[in-house]
Amino acid sequence: MGNGEQAEQRVIVALDVPDEQSAIALIDQLPQVSFWKVGLELFTSTGPKILEELKSRQKRIFLDLKFDDIPNTVAGACRSAARYGVDLLTIHATAGRDALKAATEAAQEGAAKAGVQPPKLIAITLLTSISARQLAFDLKIPLELPEYALEMALLAQECGLDGVVCSPQEVAQLRQTCENDFLLVCPGVRPTWADKGDQKRSLTPAQAIKAGADYLVIGRPITAAIEPELAWKRISEELTTVA
């Protein structure tokens, strides 16, 4: 995974829609998209059925359920999720060292038991919707935001995870510090023509790739566009300038 791929294969489109019918309509409307993210909204609505739909179309899957619980519980969740044969799976780094280690082992066990490839387990460093001000004043974290994101990434690396989810604004620093094969997956990506919405720490697709992201996660700029195919095409064209 990562840098060897063509630029547009490094875009994961977030399928944040309320039901299976809307999801399938988007998947069929965007046949060029090879990697889809199923998150809390859609998975809570459809359960694993949507994963089967994506697999039947030979799509890669990022199952973004952002587990955050005690070690025994996240391990159980990762063991179960790994059986679906998804490509990427998320846990919050804030679950802590014991939970991250337990999750890593459990994901391997679940996949082995089901006879599928284990998912790459990646940790959320700090949600891209959180600003430096919110980190300090609401979450009461006494570190500068880039330092906090780096500490979370290093914790994930020490615990044997495959990578992290980070904002494009921190990806260059993480790329320099983390191992070369440590995956850096960036949501919060916004072309200049798209609304930022609730994303606080964004860069454009080209800037994020140049800064060292392996994958970009892009949802609403494509899925909520009046013409999703055109939005996808504009992003793909932007990325050919940096590939």
Ligand X SMILES: O=c1ccn([C@@H]2O[C@H](COP(=O)(O)O)[C@@H](O)[C@H]2O)c(=O)[nH]1
Shortest separation between residue 110's beta carbon and ligand X, angstroms: 22
Should residue 199 be labelled a site residue for ligand X when binding is judged by CB under 6 A?
yes
First and final C-alpha spacing in the chain? 15
**Active site includes 55?**
no
Give residues 77-136 in contact with ligand X (rule: CB under 6 A). Answer: 124, 127-128
Give residues 22-61 in contact with ligand X (rule: CB under 6 A). Answer: 37, 39
Q: Which pair of structure tokens corresponds to residue 152?
A: 């979370």
Which one of 152, 218, 231, 235 is in contact with ligand X (CB under 6 A)? 218
Of 231, 238, 180, 163, whose CA–CA distance to 208 is shortest? 238
Shortest separation between residue 113's beta carbon and ligand X, angstroms: 28
- Size of site (CB under 6 A) for ligand X: 16
Shortest-Cβ-distance residue relative to ligand X:
219
CA distances from 195 to 177, 222, 228 (A): 31, 11, 14
Of 73, 113, 121, whose CA–CA distance to 93 is shortest? 121
Which one of 75, 82, 100, 165 is in contact with ligand X (CB under 6 A)? 165
Annotated catalytic residue within 55, 59, 66, 210: 66
Q: Assign residue 142 a region: left if phi > 0, alpha if psi is -120 to 50, beta otherwise?
A: alpha
Q: Which stretch binds ligand X (CB under 6 A): 143-151, 171-179, 216-224, 228-236?
A: 216-224
Q: Which stretch binds ligand X (CB under 6 A): 26-34, 101-109, 131-139, 214-222?
A: 214-222
Residue 85 CB neighbours (<10 A): 17
Which one of 146, 187, 205, 228 is in contact with ligand X (CB under 6 A)? 187
Q: Give the separation between CA 81 and CA 61, rounded to whole angstroms.
A: 12
With contact defined as beta carbons under 8 Å apart, do 25 and 34 qualify? no
Distance of CA 114 to the CA centre of its chain: 23
Residue 41 CB neighbours (<10 A): 15
User: Which residues are part of a known binding site for substrate?
Assistant: 16, 37, 64-73, 128, 190, 199, 219-220
Sites of contact with ligand X (CB under 6 A) = 14, 16, 37, 39, 124, 127-128, 165, 187-188, 197, 199, 217-220
Active site residues: 66
